[in-house]
Structure 1
């Protein structure tokens, strides 16, 4: 099915879902393209993570003209599926307008939080591979899972990215993402319009082999809607009314200087009717 038809189909479904939630109609966002747009790297533990946590980079790309590159740290644990997953990932990234690179020929293997202790030589090579990616692209924003995201590869990628930032003595902002487990202290809630939410789900649908096994793309709207419920009170305060968003994604943004975390960014809600810019990276 052509991309436009997929987007229209999901847009219709999401409009009905948003109406059930009592969310108001989308408000128009006028792009404010930057003269010197930044570069965002999404360190994805698996193909499909770029869609699940992609709200912030997607909006930066569309609204401020940022370049976004998805870094496929692994191509999954099944060697027989890696070629297919790489092809699916490239298709999904084309829907989002993201560039896409993989670490090594087939992604890395055994990227887990305890690999450093079990196989120090392999872990050192993994971290160096991520250092090389960071050094090549010099991102102003990096996305990686939070340390307690309850999947072994998600936790491993978090540790590897943080060690790579330290080794490179990088100056950037790290946006911690969540999927398998929520994070305790998010500080940024990024709304997605119905159109952008439809694009994220349409991209996720391109991971055909995975959704045949588990149709989790159908549940992504509920995940994004629940982030509004949680994010409203976590960022605004217990007992406060949540924002009138239908869909949003939670992140924890941390400023890094010389490879070390130096400041949590302030708590912010980023509505879809105000274009994003590099200003959101200011502590």
Structure 2
């Protein structure tokens, strides 16, 4: 009988350069805001690529990009990141962008990071899954570690990051997304998921909060140091 192993603490050591693929404005706060702030505080060079234009999708009555992009800039500043690269690809249609895989592979090859942070390929949202699969199939990504994060679908976590002391920062980053918060109670959802993942941390007699990740190490690492492969 197969027995699942409990998630391990996220290894932050020796990460000097991280490349982050974010599908939409607010996903950075929801999915990996704690990790971004931890990396910045540790002196890591964090590059963010915002993949979609954040317009709300092809069926949305209003083009929300004009509101959401400044909100995204405010959010990442709260998380300690000053700059980002915006590809402005069509929101809700990333799985139909013919050269998405090639663009992501080329960006990884150019950046040559120690760590890639991206949405889990098994995520329910097709935009998230498209980016996740593009990273998973990227030859350039085999040269570095990949940390998949969760948003719409819980992933089979290999590692958790304690963000208890950063929960207020993560909340402030999400609150910067006033437009998105008009369409869903993401604040309570994020708190609930973070508290649920916090169960995997040592109990301290008070609320614990964590972010969960599925970590994939480069194939050439010794097997004893490798985390399960995502996808």
Shorter chain as denominator, the TM-score bin is 0.7 to 0.9
1:107 counterpart residue number: 89
- The answer on 1:139 being equivalent to 2:110 is no
1:250 counterpart residue number: 212
User: Structure 1, residues 180-234: CA drift from partner, whole Å, max 9, x if none?
Assistant: 11113x111110133x1111110111111111222312432221001123x46xx
1:60 counterpart residue number: 39
1:37-116 to structure 2, matched below 5 A, reads 38-54=16-32, 55-62=34-41, 64-76=42-54, 77=57, 78=60, 80-98=63-81, 99-103=83-87, 106-109=88-91, 110-112=93-95, 115=96
Give, in angstroms, the shift of residue 65 of structure 1. Answer: 0.7
Give, in angstroms, the shift of residue 142 of structure 1. Answer: 0.8
TM-score normalised to the size of structure 1? 0.65
1:1-283 to structure 2, matched below 5 A, reads 38-54=16-32, 55-62=34-41, 64-76=42-54, 77=57, 78=60, 80-98=63-81, 99-103=83-87, 106-109=88-91, 110-112=93-95, 115=96, 122-123=97-98, 125-163=99-137, 165-166=138-139, 168=140, 170-184=142-156, 186-194=157-165, 196-229=166-199, 231=200, 243-244=203-204, 246-257=208-219, 265=226
Give, in angstroms, the shift of residue 70 of structure 1. Answer: 2.1
Give, in angstroms, the shift of residue 61 of structure 1. Answer: 1.6
Within 1, Cα distance between the matches of 2:197 and 2:128? 19
Query: Would you identify which runs of 4 or more consecutive aligned residues in structure 1 move more than 6 Å?
Result: none
Secondary structure in structure 2 of the residue aligned to 1:202: helix
Change (3 A) 1:265 1:188: farther
Residues 51 and 200 in structure 1, CA contact (< 8 A), matched pair in contact too: yes
Within 2, Cα distance between the matches of 1:173 and 1:200? 24
Give unmatched runs, 5+ long, in structure 2. Answer: 1-12
Q: Which has the larger radius of gyration?
A: 1
Within 1, Cα distance between the matches of 2:121 and 2:224? 17
Residues 187 and 265 in structure 1, CA contact (< 8 A), matched pair in contact too: no
Secondary structure in structure 2 of the residue aligned to 1:84: helix
User: Structure 1, residues 209-263: CA drift from partner, whole Å, max 9, x if none?
Assistant: 111222312432221001123x46xxxxxxxxx54361111111111248xxx88
RMSD, aligned α-carbons? 2.7
More helix by share: 1
1:239 counterpart residue number: none
Residues 256 and 263 in structure 1, CA contact (< 8 A), matched pair in contact too: no
Count of paired positions: 206
Within 1, Cα distance between the matches of 2:141 and 2:23? 22
Secondary structure in structure 1 of the residue aligned to 2:63: helix
Secondary structure in structure 1 of the residue aligned to 2:218: strand
Within 1, Cα distance between the matches of 2:163 and 2:130? 28
Within 2, Cα distance between the matches of 1:211 and 1:144? 22
